[in-house]
Amino acid sequence: MDNLLDLIKRRRTIRQFRQEEIPENILLELVNLGRLAPSAANMQPLEFLVVHEPEVRKRVFPWLRWAAYINPAGNPQPGQEPTAYILILVNTKIRQNGYEYDVGAAAENIILGALTQGIGCCWLISVDRERLKNILGIPDGYKIDSVLALGYPAESPVVEDFQDSVKYWKDETGVLHVPKRRLSQVVHLNRFGNRISG
């Protein structure tokens, strides 16, 4: 079992996937991890739609938008598309707003759970919701919040210290570099403005 701290530190967004199917029982376990996430007032408005059949996956893929900073280099290349999706749905009969916190907690549970199985993930917000609702038969009363694209990684992105831009890039060998602000740039101790060194 992976150490949780190590998992969090090595989690990177994956956009290139090996074409190895994810077993359905693992996908259902990942949804179960999302189900168990914290929910504001325990209202539990989230539901999940798992897509893993190849023909359905092909119909979903065109309606997803990938790495805007490096488009089209960040899009999954032919033969490196996701092998499963988990759509995070909001049952608006239960909750119409304020569900975003639930989504964040559920998505992170799923993403970290996937990583324990060697599965990479890209959390997509920029999706054509109307097209996806039609393709997947999602009824009125449900909102697609986001899509988790899943698969076994075919790339290994690396973290870089933030310099002057948040934009990620690919180097000449195709490795994705992702700038992150340093701890010293985001933490205040006991009083705003008290910074740590480093």
Both tokens of 160, joined, read: 């870089």
| Angle at the Cα of 86 from the Cα atoms of 83 and 87, rounded to 5 degrees | 135
- Cβ atoms of residues 84 and 147 within 8 Å: no
Phi, psi of 44 (to 5 degrees): 55, 60
pTM as predicted: 0.92
Phi, psi of 122 (to 5 degrees): -125, 120
Q: How far apart are CA 26 and CA 198, in angstroms?
A: 40
The closest of 154, 44, 150, 40 to 87, measured between CA atoms, is: 150
- 4-155 shares its CATH topology with 157-198: no
What is the CATH T-level fold of the domain 157-198, as seen in this structure?
putative fmn-dependent nitroreductase like fold (2.20.180)
**Helix (H/G/I), strand (E/B), else coil: 85:** strand
Which pLDDT value is given to residue 96? 94
Q: How far apart are CA 175 and CA 13, in angstroms?
A: 12
What is the CATH T-level fold of the domain 4-155, as seen in this structure?
NADH Oxidase (3.40.109)
The structural domains of the chain, with segments of one domain joined by +, span: 4-155, 157-198
Instruction: Kindly give the confidence (pLDDT) of every residue in the chain, 198 residues in length, as a single tens digit, with 9 standing for 90 and above.
Output: 568 999 999 999 999 999 999 999 999 999 999 999 999 999 999 999 999 999 999 999 999 999 888 888 889 999 999 999 999 999 999 999 999 999 999 999 999 999 999 999 999 999 999 999 999 999 999 999 999 999 999 999 888 888 888 888 888 888 888 889 888 989 999 999 999 987
